[in-house]
Amino acid sequence: MTSKATDLSTRPMFCVDWDGTCVEEAWPENGEWLPGAVSSLRYLSSVGKTIIYSLRCHLYEHDEVTLRPPGAAAAEVAGIRERLDEVGLHDVEVYPHDRGKPPALYYIDDRAVRFRGDWVEVLDEIRARELTRDMAALRKERDESTHVRSEYFSR
Ligand SMILES: [Mg+2]
């Protein structure tokens, strides 16, 4: 008989983020499936244990101090479960919030920064991403002010 521990030693665990990885980022709504996500989750769960690990299922707000309303986390778990079941991904589990970091061999997350043994590389990537975020904010600000200006001059 094979125990769950033995399963994990022979079959890898894949820890997969939900928002921005499986579905479009649409907090607090659940976004649409991202292209390739369903078939990839199906493949991963055929290869190993596949779990969804999401902040949605946490008992606390993002400030890590404020408790979310009673039942909020359970409702999120149920919501993800429903989306997985709708597409037949019954083997993909939603990881419980109280178990800490999952013992996965692979973490798949749109916010991940890969560590390859070089912290300079990590910080370089973060700096590049932060610059991209700053530029996006600047472009938005510029476009909005251009929009306001063009509306003003079109009167
Ligand atoms: Mg994400």
Tens of pLDDT, residue by residue over 31-72, are 999 999 999 999 999 999 999 999 888 888 878 888 888 888
Assess whether pLDDT exceeds 80 at residue 149.
Answer: no
Q: Taking residues 125-146, report their average pLDDT.
A: 92
The separation between CA 115 and the C-alpha centre of its own chain, rounded to angstroms, equals: 18
Q: What are the pLDDT digits (tens) for 65-107?
A: 888 888 888 999 999 999 999 999 999 999 988 888 999 999 9
Distance of CA 16 from the midpoint of ligand 1 (Å): 9
Q: Is the pTM of this model over 0.85?
A: no
Distance of CA 153 from the midpoint of ligand 1 (Å): 41
Distance of CA 1 from the midpoint of ligand 1 (Å): 37
Statement to judge: residues 100 and 141 lie in one domain:
no
Statement to judge: residues 86 and 118 lie in one domain:
no
- Report d(CA 26, CA 20) in Å as an integer: 8
Lowest pLDDT segment from 55-64, 105-114, 117-126, 137-146: 55-64
Statement to judge: residues 19 and 72 lie in one domain:
yes
pLDDT at 4: 53
Distance of CA 92 from the midpoint of ligand 1 (Å): 17
Distance of CA 51 from the midpoint of ligand 1 (Å): 14
Structural domain boundaries enclosing 26? 4-112
Q: What are the pLDDT digits (tens) for 5-29?
A: 546 668 999 999 999 999 999 988 9
Assess whether pLDDT exceeds 80 at residue 2.
Answer: no
CATH number at residue 29: 3.40.50.1000
Distance of CA 144 from the midpoint of ligand 1 (Å): 27
CA distances from 36 to 14, 23, 41, 138, 141 (A): 16, 10, 8, 32, 33
Distance of CA 129 from the midpoint of ligand 1 (Å): 15
Q: Taking residues 107-111, report their average pLDDT.
A: 97
Statement to judge: residues 47 and 84 lie in one domain:
yes
- What are φ and ψ of residue 2, in 5° steps? -100, 125
Statement to judge: residues 98 and 24 lie in one domain:
yes
Distance of CA 24 from the midpoint of ligand 1 (Å): 9
Residues 6+ apart with CB under 8 A from 43: none
**The pair of three-digit structure tokens given for residue 54, joined into one six-digit string:** 């999401």
Distance of CA 110 from the midpoint of ligand 1 (Å): 5
Q: How many domains does the chain have?
A: 2
Distance of CA 19 from the midpoint of ligand 1 (Å): 4
- Longest CA–CA separation in the chain, Å: 78
